[in-house]
Structure 1
Amino acid sequence: MTTTATSNAPHKKASTYLAIALVVATVLVLLFVIRLLDREPRTDDAYVYADTIDVVPEVNGRIAELAVRDNQAVRQGDLLFRIDPRPYQDALARARASLVALDKQIALSQRTVDAQRYNAQSARAAVERARAAAEQAADTLHRTAPLLSQGYVSAQDVNLARTAQRATQAELAAAELQARQAAAAVSGVDALVAQRAVAEAEIAIAELNLEFATVRAPFDGRVVSLKTAAGQFASALKPVFTLIDTRQWYVVANFRETELKGLRAGTPATVYLLSDAGRRFRGTVDSVSYGVLPNEGGVALPGGLPRIERTLNWVHVAQRFPVRIRVANPDPELFRIGTSAVAVLYPGRGGDAGHR
């Protein structure tokens, strides 16, 4: 019994040393992981995001041609759908015809105005002639009247001069009245010219509506949520489908507030998707959110601050804030909005820190 106890002592001592070594190694690994996470924060609370727009027609009408299908990739300028253009073609033709008719009316009115102006000029010339005759008759009377007392002229001569003077004054008054009437008759074509500007504006609107009847892709993207077909009546400002902007993809990662120190636009990052965890994608921080809805903030409204739930309600847990990461080399076949992702950040490092 003594020999057995003696032989087990070294064995127990070795087991003790091994246990201590394992504890120390575990602590060292834990410290390394904590330091690594502090230097390179990571989170799996992330998802893929891209900008989207609702594709809506700007005019009403029946869809005459639907050139895309759901989930199809399109290039900028590709035809998406076409509204029946006939009502807008007719409106454009009617506006152009109205302009032609108005131009003819302006030309005819201009000739009339020219004639009116000629009559006014003639009336003004008649006034000048009548005024000259009146002045001459008045001058004759002034010269003749003093000669009557000297016997050089007869009373009849003076009466004739006085009658001539009165007649020329009456003719002058009549000529001035005719001149005023002729001047008032000159109407001009200003009102018709103003109507022409309105007609031109109506043509521009009709051309724009006809252009709006054809809807094309504003950028490279992918069609989603298409739930209609040719023949459906499309209403202005009512979405027909959604178009994802595939020119740039992002990963929105929710990091704890304690990990935001040192983060800024341009901080390098690495992301990978759970759909293909073997591939790594480089990226940079595009922006860090400056607001989330607190748990005590009530119900989140559409378009308001994002709500990020805390996992423990009975412990004060650090709030998470969305960090938007711009992906440098996304795979267009792999990236989908809402795909789960993992993001690793490298604050305080150069632009190549995350390019592993």
Structure 2
Amino acid sequence: MLELLVCAFFTLLPDYLYRRYRQGKRFGRELTLYSVWFELRWGLVTCVMLTVGLITVIFYNHPSTTSATVFFRTVPIVPEVNGRVAQIHVGFSQAVAKGAPIFTLDSSTQEAAVEAARRKIAEADAALVVAKADILADEGKILEAKSALQQAMDELQTKNELKRRNDAIVATREIERLENIVAGREAAVLSATAAKDAAQAKIVSLLPAERASAAAALAQAEVELQKTVVRAGFAGRVEQFTLRIGDIVNPFMRPAGIIIPEEAGRGRLQAGFSQIEAQVIKVGMAAEVTCISKPWEVIPMVVTGVQDFIAAGQLRSGEQLIDAQQVVRPGTILTFLEPLYQGGLDGVTPGSSCIANAYSSNHDVIVAKDTGTLRRIALHAVDAVGLVHALLLRIQALVLPIQTLVFSGH
């Protein structure tokens, strides 16, 4: 409507003034409802063409959308393990700090695993003490075996000396018996030494490895025990928390509620512009928004990101072929807007619906040396008509609360 009034001011009004004061034609006489088209045809046609052109220039170079929302993420509250709820630490809706407990699962199985792992460590420590005692016993056996071996060797040496002096004094069978005793006692020394080495090896490698495995099992059991206490991973607010003591929760099928991060929806706004604006919207463009939750206020913004794909065209592998006709509604260009000044979105409720305008700027092209005069004038005109869109946004911001409260019945 505003564009039509502006165009009529430059086209239809001069045509009417010419007919009225130059040709002397007046309404009710020469200018009637039946003769308006013929008399004012040049102004009417020019007004319509100029209005269509102006609207096209404004909406293409300075895109607008009502699909702007302050999106925020929600995180489902789920445990890492299955279990039955034993304790509840928060209410249906409550603010929580980072690391605060939300609910606790029954931990009897995990506590038993922790106690069993501790007993394994105690068993390994006891086995280490026993192995050290075994070394002392083996050392005594080695001394005993060496003493017996020395005694047998001395007796064999004595018998051999007597036999050397007088062959008839010592029987050959006695010498063989003593040699067998010496060999057996040498084997006993070797056996006792091997037993000591085995005990030493247990102390040095086997028992420490067993204790380390038990300690790792204890650490794993303690981690599993800690998983029974579900805590907030970040500061935020718990909502729709309907879990009660005795309920069974499953990380794959049943979340306990949701938690909204403290900073969610506080720093940026997402707007979906028409696909035809894909070549116009660029990072760094100035923008303005007005939101229902913060009426009668226009917030200056800047475009910080443009999604380079359209969500409506996504597909997932399945058992059926995709038909292009299934995409009934064309998707939009998702654009990320951030406030130009710090705290610009303060007071805007996360999830609020907004109206957004983006304004293109051709200043760099205009001041370029290789830009022609006609193109500079045209680009100046394109940038100037952005004022019309800015005015429209302010009219929308003024009318939006009245439209919402009065005419929509909300």
| Structure-2 change in CA distance of 1:232 and 1:201 (3 Å) | same
- SS of 1:11's equivalent? coil
Deviations 1:65-94 (A, max 9, x none): 231323x44343333223345654454345
* TM value normalised by structure 2: 0.60
1:118 CA displacement: 4.3
Measure the CA separation in 1 of the matches of 2:240 and 2:144: 77
1:320 matched to 2:336? The reply is no
- Which residue does the alignment assign to 2:90? 67
2:256 is aligned to 240
SS at match of 2:356: strand
Contact 2:285/2:358 (<8 A) preserved: yes
Output the amino acid matched with 1:290: F
Instruction: Say whether residues 1:221 and 2:252 are aligned partners.
Output: no
1:170 aligned residue (180, 192, 217): 180
Q: Does 1:278 align with 2:296?
A: yes
Q: For residue 122 of structure 1, report the CA deviation from its aligned partner.
A: 5.1
1:165 deviates by: 6.1
Residue of structure 1 equivalent to 2:357:
344
CA drift of 1:334 comes to: 1.2
Matches within 5 A, 1:189-228: 189=202, 191-228=206-243
CA RMSD after TM alignment: 4.6
Flag the 1:234–1:32 CA change in 2: closer, same or farther, 3 A.
Answer: same
Q: What one-letter code is carried by the residue in structure 2 that aligns with 1:254?
A: G
Per-residue deviation, 1:115: 1.7
Structure 1 residue ranges without an equivalent (≥5): 1-5, 146-152, 302-306, 312-317
Residues 113 and 308 (structure 1 numbering): CA distance in 2 closer, same or farther, change over 3 Å?
farther
Q: 1:349 to 1:251 in 2, by over 3 A?
A: farther
Structure 1 Cα separation of the partners of residues 21 and 170 of structure 2: 173
- Note the C-alpha offset of 1:173: 0.8
Give the residue type in structure 1 aligned to 2:211: R
The answer (yes or no) to whether the contact 1:50–1:246 under 8 Å persists in 2 is: no
The alignment-based identity, stated in percent, is 21
Deviation at residue 64 of structure 1 after TM alignment: 0.9
Contact 1:287 1:325 in 2 (8 A): no
Partner of 2:192: 182
Amino acid at match of 1:96: R
Distance 2:303 2:139 in 1: 77
CA apart distance, 1:200 = 1.5
The runs of 5 or more residues in structure 2 that have no matched partner are: 1-19, 320-324, 364-389, 395-410
| Aligned residue identity for 2:279 | K
Q: Give 1:125 shift.
A: 7.0
CA gap of 1:8–1:43, structure 2 versus 1, over 3 A, is closer
1:227 Cα deviation from its structure 2 partner: 2.9
Q: Tell me, in whole angstroms, the C-alpha distance in 2 between the residues paired with 1:101 and 1:223.
A: 45
Contact kept in structure 2, 1:286 and 1:326, CA below 8 Å: no
**Of the candidates 97, 107, 119, which is equivalent to residue 141 of structure 2?**
119
Query: Where does 1:145-160 land on structure 2 (aligned, <5 Å)?
Result: 154-156=166-168, 160=170
Q: For 1:126 and 1:279, how far apart are their aligned partners in 2? A: 106
Distance in 2 (alpha carbons) for counterparts of 1:58 and 1:286: 35
Partner deviation per Cα, 1:225-251 (whole Å, 9 max, x = no partner): 333334433345541112223414243
- Higher RCO by CA contacts (8 Å cutoff, separation 6 or greater): 1
Letter in 2 for 1:66: H
Q: Which has the higher helix share?
A: 2
CA distance in 1, matches of 2:338, 2:146: 81
Q: Work out whether 1:40 is the aligned partner of 2:62.
A: yes
Task: Report if aligned partners of 2:282, 2:303 keep a CA contact under 8 Å in 1.
Answer: no
CA shift, 1:178, in A, is 0.9
